[in-house]
Amino acid sequence: MADVICLGLACADVMARPVESFPPRGKLELIPTLEIHLGGLAAVAAAVIAKLGGSVAFMGKLGTDGFGDYCAGALENCGVDLRHLQRTTTEGTPATVVLVSKDGERTFLHHPGCSRTLRESDINTEKFHGAKHVHWGGPAVTPGLDGPPISRILEKAKSIGLTTSVDTCYDGLDVWYPRIETALPFLDVVMSSLEEARMYTGKQEPEAIADFYLDRGPDIAVIKLGDGGMFVKSTTERMRVPAHRVDVVDTTGAGDAACGAFVYGYTQGWELHKSVQLANAVGALTVQAMGGSEGVKSLDDTLAFIDRVPVEVEAF
């Protein structure tokens, strides 16, 4: 078994750039860039962990269609273990149309496909034996796991000695906190973008959000602040790191990639500030290229970027 199991969403991202407005209804407009990339919270995290040199498996569903073939191939090419991937003929592969503006901001049209059919019965927790960590990515996009089902899955992981994490996702149905509430006691690390975290917790400031999570079970809360960097608080430390100043091409998947990098450092036993620094750098590398993981090449390349474009982790 791989050290890390990334459980949840993989999808195909069909990306158009730049898109500043829609053409009139029924009309055509030309764009210079149209590409397909691997997307999905769990899949992008898995790809990044593999690129950094980690041992990682993906556990989830893809369709038997062309999008599914693409996603499976992209994961395999990164070195992700696919022995626990399910392929289904009943639903298509999750896919997202991503409209990227000139400044890198994204607008999404998401088709959930077979991710909405993923159930607790599809997750063989006996396969957790031999692993070190389960990363769930994420709530709302695999709705059949939300609430008590994912809680039981994570509880099983904890009972056999694994650590656990979640990367929360935007909830288009506006359910939010009930999706993760019962899972929090069985999570070691919670990672959320600031916008999402405000909806999940009802709190506004990063530290108040972190405290909300920490009071409910996790040991570490990672709040992704976009171009503001990251705020991280554990039961013993708190720190903030500014974003690296880089030319932004596309911010799609940057948060998912940063979560993967944090999980890599965490499962390698790194000190918290070092894992935060790696996650922050991977987010900066990601936004310089189209796609969620394409900007990340290797651990050595990422560490070289940190040296080349330094920012200071502020512990307080």
**Residues contacting 96, CB < 8 A, separation 6+:** 11, 12, 13, 14, 39, 108, 109, 110, 111
Between CA 46 and CA 84 the distance in angstroms is: 13
Between CA 245 and CA 201 the distance in angstroms is: 29
Cβ density class 13-51: b for 16+ within 10 Å, e for less: bbbebebeeeeeeeeeeeeeeeebbbbbbbbbbbbbbbb
Q: For the chain, percent helix, then strand, then coil, each to nearest 5? A: 40, 25, 40
**Residues contacting 303, CB < 8 A, separation 6+:** none
What is the pLDDT, as a whole number, of residue 11? 97
Each residue's pLDDT tens digit, 57-67: 999 999 999 99
Position 104 pLDDT exceeds 90 = no
Peptide bond preceding 138 in cis form (omega within 30 of 0): yes
Q: Does domain 4-20+33-315 have CATH number 3.40.1190.20?
A: yes
Tell me the domain boundaries of the chain. 4-20+33-315
Lookup result for tokens 């917790």: 201
Each residue's pLDDT tens digit, 235-255: 999 999 999 999 999 899 999
- Side chain identity at 45, as an amino acid letter? A
Residue 116: band (very low, low, confident or very high) from pLDDT cuts 50, 70, 90: very high
What is the pLDDT, as a whole number, of residue 13? 96
Lookup result for tokens 């990164």: 78
Chain mean pLDDT for the chain: 96
Between CA 119 and CA 274 the distance in angstroms is: 35
- Side chain identity at 197, as an amino acid letter? A
Between CA 70 and CA 72 the distance in angstroms is: 6
Determine which of 29-38, 40-49, 99-108, 281-290 has the lowest per-residue pLDDT on average.
Answer: 99-108
Residue 76: band (very low, low, confident or very high) from pLDDT cuts 50, 70, 90: very high
**Residues contacting 279, CB < 8 A, separation 6+:** 222, 230, 258, 259, 261, 262, 265
What count of Cα atoms within 13 Å lies in the side-chain half-sphere of residue 286? 31
Between CA 232 and CA 287 the distance in angstroms is: 21
Residue 179: band (very low, low, confident or very high) from pLDDT cuts 50, 70, 90: very high
The residues that bridge with 12 in the sheet, in sequence order, are 38, 95
Q: What pTM was computed for the model? A: 0.96
Between CA 256 and CA 260 the distance in angstroms is: 6
